[in-house]
Amino acid sequence: MRGFHITVRHFNGTLITDEYGPPGPFNDSRKKPGKVLWYRPRDYLHPNYYEGEEWFNEYIMPRKPTFNLSHYEDKRAIWFQRIKKANFLPRCIREILVTKEFLTHDYARCHAGDHEPVYDDFYKILGIEKNKDYFFEFMSVW
């Protein structure tokens, strides 16, 4: 199981929902953590993922052209993590969340085109529409 706090805002910063939100720096941010949003990455794996693919020599993890391993203090955080192949979270959050330490408060501006691939369950739980422009505040707790 993985758990995190998340607050959803319009692109202009107006609060949409903070039921699962972390405490934050904005005037309308929660003062105490909200509920923890739990999910099992294994239940949302990308259909093309096969168990252990990251150990094969031909496995290549897509990285930005500017990627440089020496920029990361904790090398474990940037190697393959199964959560990167779990499509519960929008891609714009997933790529940031997996490289952060637990309880690190972070932000992501997610354009409508930067969500896929992602399952609908994430949006249903939060009560928001899929593939809209959002500003997310989030924090991994487990």
Q: Give the H/E segment covering residue 121.
A: helix 121-126
Taking CA 37 as the corner, what is the angle to CA 117 and CA 79, rounded to the nearest 5 degrees? 55
Q: Which regions of 1-142 does DSSP assign to beta strands (E)?
A: 2-10, 15-20, 37-39, 106-110, 134-140
Contact 106, 137 (CB under 8 A): yes
Of all residues in the chain, what percent are helix, strand and coil, respectively (each to 5)? 25, 25, 55
Q: pLDDT truncated to tens, each residue of the chain (142 aa)? A: 888 899 999 999 899 999 999 998 889 999 999 999 998 888 888 777 777 666 666 666 666 677 666 766 655 555 556 667 788 989 888 877 766 667 788 888 999 988 888 899 999 999 999 989 999 999 888 7
Cα–Cα distance, 86 to 96 (Å, whole number): 14
